[in-house]
Structure 1
Amino acid sequence: MSGEVEYQPVSVKELLSEMKDTAELLIDLSYSAVLLGSDAIAEEVLDLEDRMDILQMRARMSLLLAARTTEDAEALAPVLGMVGAAEKVSDASGDIAKIVLEDIGLPEAMRAALPEAVETLVRVTLSPEAALAGRTLGEANLETETGVRVIAIRRDGEWLTNPAAETTLRAGDVLLLRGAEEAIGDVYGQMSDEEYAPVAAAEPAIDDLERAVDSIVLMKNMSELAVDLAYGAVLFDSTAVAEEVLELEAEVDALQSRFEAWVLRAAGRVEDPVSLRGLVHLARSTEVISDAALEISEGVLRGLGTHPVVAEAVRESDEVIVRLSVGEGSALDGATLREEMVATETGMRVIAVRRGPIAGETTLSRFGRERGEWVVSPRAETELHAGDVVITKGTRAGAQRLAALAGDELEGDYEDE
């Protein structure tokens, strides 16, 4: 990063909100860069990392000026922790991007993991001749009709994360599209003068290497979920949600231990063991992200509560994270995500499901509570049952509609604004 950073009288709430959205976008982009082998996406990650460095410096300056008494210091300590955690996510994402840009090396087995790791993400420049140029996202109705969503727009060097329905698409916008592989190609073609070229997946040749890759994919999913839940814990000042973050962080640590064992076993069977360096870098950075998630929720876990400026910043960010329990006899009880058309009807994306307690199949958390297993990144055919906990992202209005389907009540104020 180059250039001086000077103090500006900017709202801490606005800075924290932008840092939250940027951190989530960085995670998305960095893993997609690796899985797609895309230098272009990796470069976008480094640009955003520079932006995060500026945001965190300004946030620290503002917080230092705000602390005048010991009471102020106690109240603001968790806020500083959140700033530091967002910076850790940013640095880890930058390290992941450098795996691609510096050709550190990844086995082709990563390509085989692509369909299960993340939805396909592509970067496309909107052509002046595209029918969508000049239309709003609401008018285009892209996600409902195709299942593909625009997760971010770079325009005139500035980022717009999680654009809203009223956002107008302009010729020359760089759009980041996320969706199913089979739908991405058509949407890409509508927006660009070029033909979409999907990445070919290679079949892994070594069992131990395949297991190592599978471990990383699961670590990625759980770390990303932990970040989402951490911000949810802050928003609700919820110890129960913060404890879920602690559980996920412990699971990521256990997965990393298994990953290291699989890599060491595979190293003796690959032609060039040095080619596995990228996997080691990826696992280390992924574990850092889960640690950062724990730091975000640490103030809640330690009973310090949530500073009002933090809760408001999380609430005003582009998306909210909601934790709901499926009620017995509700519309979701016994239904699949596809059958109830959760994404279409509510605008909410179910990012994880924690199964409810079932006799003989549950495990005890470190807090002594019975809980079922996590289903991270559930599919449309995933079936929900009474007692399941669903973690979703979307708008406050969508959260209300989803709560009605689940037969549960939302924590906090989710009235439309």
Structure 2
Amino acid sequence: MTKKIVVTGLGTTSPLGGNVPDTWRALLAGESGVRPLEQEWVEKYELPVKFAGQAKVPAAEVLERVETKRLDPSSQFALIAAREAWADAGAPDVDPLRITVDYATGIGGVWTLLDAWDTLREKGPRRVLPMTVPMLMPNGPAAAISMELSARGSARTVVSACASGTESIANAYDHLQAGLADVVIAGGSEAAIHPLPIAAFASMQALSKRNDDPQGASRPYDVSRDGFVLGEGGAAIVLETEEHALARGAHIYAELAGGAVTSDAHHITAPDPEGTGAARAVVAALEQAGAVPDEVQHINAHATSTPVGDVAEYNALLSVFGDRVHSIPVSATKASTGHLLGGTGALEAIFTILALHERTAPPTINLGQQDPAIPLDVVTEARSLGEGPLLAISNSFGFGGHNAVVAFRSV
């Protein structure tokens, strides 16, 4: 029998705020978390892109010094988000063997890896820190969360580029349905605002180069969009069966109704221009939710602000929803946060959950002139989603042709 899976806790640290309430408030207010980079390495390496969506609250201001010394920034963000989500869920008293972690990252401990390489070259092998390998491992965030919560069911890591965070949530759904856990904490984090990733993304013409207007640089669906803006942070959600949540008197935000993943098998970086694989993921997520496309009343789009990607996603949505897609309220929240890579799907899942919980679709900023090739109903000011049952989807697509979609219902 299919179980009803519900969301009972939310946590984040993002370019908009150091927690969920501050992040959501800033998003609804149309604020931008993107700002100029002031680190000396920006000029030292003559980077062509000089801005990003840095975490609004530095991890060092939240964590103990020993935690920042022993965790890569990607794990630091994960731990902050997980602590908030767990507390928000009421710190459930659960058998550790029945707690599972499904977490994600797109790149992992890039700061640790590249700092260690610099140390090796400049100071020799004896100066490389003993904790280097545990800190750079992509499973570091999941491991840090599992130890924090004494989660002994399992601690699994998804690494599927920018689809990672969403895929981790889809996996959590499956693990709860299979009875492998009573409570799962899922999400994703990323900390890749480092000169090498910036230089590499810029070299492939993926990043916006609006150095004169950082806060206006991420502009999904706009005719003048020229690439995404790199962001950082972490997000986590606590999931459990409705039966388990009600038994302990938990607050329920929304239902995780379904999730699905597919692959384009098309190109290592470019999406299938027709959005075929993305469309299959949307259809499969809705099928798992026992829903049909006509029930969807809100979409949190992947919408990275790249010329090709935004059109491909529109083609996918058009193939699933037909002409009705032009009347579904669509939010493209990377305009405010930048692109958190492996953490972005988890953050946008929180935005989707809160949109249902508060019946308000968040705005898409920086849309001056909408691309006529993408005639979606883009939400540009916070908009009421009305009364009655609501169903929403959140899309994430990543390099390598990874597609992940999750569907949420109001409660």
TM-score by length of 2: 0.27
Greater RCO (CA < 8 Å, at least 6 residues apart):
2
Q: Which has the larger radius of gyration?
A: 1
Determine which structure has the larger strand proportion and give its number: 2
TM-score by length of 1: 0.27
Determine which structure has the larger helix proportion and give its number: 1
